Amino acid sequence: VKVTDADAPVLAMYFSFNGGRGYSPEDYIINTIAPKVQAVTVVGKATVGAHEWTVAESEWSVWHVAKSDNGQWLIVVENKKTDAGKANTLIGSIVTK
């Protein structure tokens, strides 16, 4: 899912089926994001809206990764650091079932 504001990208959201296998947000960052993004670092956890997100950063981007309420999916949100204000507002509105 890509969210734009007047044709300018704000964030991209991805969903990864976890299927109850215990794949954590940290696992996703280490195994999926880090091999493709140079110098990505997990910076901690943040509660934004209804979810606790594991947050990772690179020089220009931020990723928020959280489990859905039922634990079956991982929600991954990627945005540029310059769009953090708009992105965090949208991230705070995400609700899962």
Q: What is the pLDDT of residue 38?
A: 86
Instruction: With beta carbons less than 8 A apart as the criterion, state whether 65 and 78 touch.
Output: no
d(CA 82, CA 50): 23
pLDDT given at position 16: 92
Give the DSSP letter of residue 31. Answer: I
Residue 29's pLDDT is: 96
- What's the confidence (pLDDT) of residue 20? 72
Query: Angle at Cα 76 formed by Cα 33 and Cα 12, nearest 5°?
Result: 95
Burial annotation 39-53 (CB, 10 A radius, 16+ → b, else e): ebebeeeeebeebeb
Which residue ranges of the chain lie beneath pLDDT 50? none
> pTM to 2 decimals?
0.92
Instruction: Return the structure tokens found at 39.
Output: 């110098």
